[in-house]
Chains A and B, each alone.
Chain A
């Protein structure tokens, strides 16, 4: 997904003179050919994340369309007030593209993990938040974002699904759409959680829906996809990050919601992403266990 981000962004820098890229050393080597071709619009400020976001703001205020990129914790969390004030509050705009996700680099440890990025960014008004599950989805979302003037966060991960889900041909539309029918509950898989969810529920009578986009959250799509009053939300970051959105979508009807995601405690473990999946209950067996427990505890 990161390689596709580099190639598509490099192409957009070539074809669209409004596009600009701001880096804080991360991925600078990959973008070096683009920087040589467009030294005024590919800007590496060094290891300075506050400045990276301030520069993105300033570029936007002159009419350019900046993309700022780094590891998720450094992009979203380290200079969060700059995200809040230098972008939205100024009516400036930018596309933030992160790598690393919740624990892509498990061997790197907690400093390079950002299970809370979507949750904290959700506290700010006006942001569109994409969590693509496949490089093709990421490319479609990135191209849409560059063509807009919206505040957009795109969360890259190495944990891609085996196939892309682009219901409108080549356009990702940010909607919740049904992947598999079923009757007892709706399981909503966000981004890279789709493949583990499909494996987990392969023999269960539940519907599975998919979305790449959690802000704005597709309330109508959720209502249309739900076959019953039981909802399971599976997100690849802090459990419950979008729970309030589900409850808002179903505010007019009694419903039950199981929110799955990373459990919000620090593991202090290295190892592999699959081992971390197990620790958070996000591997297919863990997901299945939680979903079966939820279904069998139903009062209906």
Chain B
């Protein structure tokens, strides 16, 4: 049995995460994206290590590429990458860096790090799938509340809403880290542009899954997953 045949459950994520961070003390709750990532890969996304190049796979784009420890831990738990890779992050020969690179890591759909690129690329992937008659796969993009500061997101939000791009689903991890906040709420930025929206507890797996699975027909969908404020 190769390392990639081993699948891990949520209970093992802490140990995998610790191998990336080298930090035994932090609980998974210290990582804002962990639960949403787990729900996506465990319950929602139609993609597996065997289908990372399949044209009809679901796409997941981690736009918020900072602090990808939870992403790597989930990819390892689900068998996309060997767990051994977690022990050597960001060395010269490691495929895993502090920002993920799609060319180096199986299952990683975009290289991120600079903020505000994932959502516009996700719009293009959603349009490309639609243009080729691939109606079943969906495009999931994860952004952060502070990342929404970047104006490129708002170009994408306005356009996707205007054309009713309903194979696009965005999750905003809201750990209240945007310097100037979002008076009026994050979801209103999407709903005013014609998106369906839901706001959930970003640690509640059933609530996250339910929100991701209940878009309105004919509209792109945004799920705001609220977690604890970012620690200073």
Contacts and interface: CB of A to CB of B under 8 A. Distances in A.
Interface of A: 20, 22, 40-41, 43, 45-46, 48, 50-51, 53-64, 66, 81-82, 85-86, 89-91
Contacts of A45: 155, 159
Interface in B76-125: 102-103, 109-111, 114, 116-117, 119-125
Nearest to B129: A62
B121 A61 contact: yes
B111 A85 contact: yes
Contact of B121 (A48, A57, A64, A81): A57
B128 A54 contact: no
B152 interface: yes
Contacts of A48: 155, 158-159
Nearest to B139: A58
| Max chain B Cβ within 10 angstroms of own Cβ: one of A22, A61, A62, A82 | A62
Contacts of B55: 62-63
A81 B121 CA distance: 13
B131 interface: yes
Contacts of A58: 120-128
A58 B152 CA distance: 14
Contact of A40 (B109, B127, B156): B127
A85 B114 contact: yes
A59 B132 CA distance: 10
Contacts of A82: 117, 120, 152
Given A41-B131, A82-B117, A50 B125 contact: no
A90 B124 contact: no
> DSSP class of A's interface residues: helix, strand, loop or mixed?
helix
> DSSP class of B's interface residues: helix, strand, loop or mixed?
helix
B130 interface: yes
Contacts of A89: 111
Contacts of B132: 62-64
Contacts of A60: 124, 128
B121 A43 contact: no
Contacts of B110: 61, 90
A123 B116 CA distance: 22
B185 interface: no
Contacts of B162: 46
Contact of B128 (A46, A64, A81, A90): A64
B201 to A, nearest CB: 30
B141 to A, nearest CB: 10
Given A48-B159, A90-B110, A53 B120 contact: yes
A38 to B, nearest CB: 9
| Max chain A Cβ within 10 angstroms of own Cβ: one of B102, B114, B119, B121 | B121
A54 B111 contact: no
Interface string B161-181: 010000000000000000000
A81 B120 contact: no
B55 to A, nearest CB: 7
A100 B120 CA distance: 26
Contacts of A86: 117, 120-121
B120 A51 contact: yes
Given A50-B120, A90-B111, 4 more contacts: A40-B127, A59-B127, A59-B128, A61-B125
Contact of A54 (B109, B124, B134): B124
Contacts of B123: 51, 54-55, 58
A152 B156 CA distance: 25
A60 B131 CA distance: 12
B121 A54 contact: yes
A85 B116 CA distance: 11
A53 B134 CA distance: 22
B155 A51 contact: yes
Contacts of A63: 55, 128, 132
A65 to B, nearest CB: 11
A50 B125 CA distance: 15
Nearest to B103: A91
Nearest to B119: A54
A256 B188 CA distance: 63
Given A58-B121, A62-B132, A63-B55, A51 B156 contact: yes
Shortest Cβ-Cβ A-B pairs, 5 listed:
A58-B124, A54-B120, A62-B128, A55-B124, A40-B131
A85 B117 contact: yes
13 contacts: A40-B131, A46-B162, A50-B116, A51-B123, A54-B121, A54-B152, A57-B120, A58-B126, A60-B128, A62-B125, A62-B128, A82-B120, A90-B110
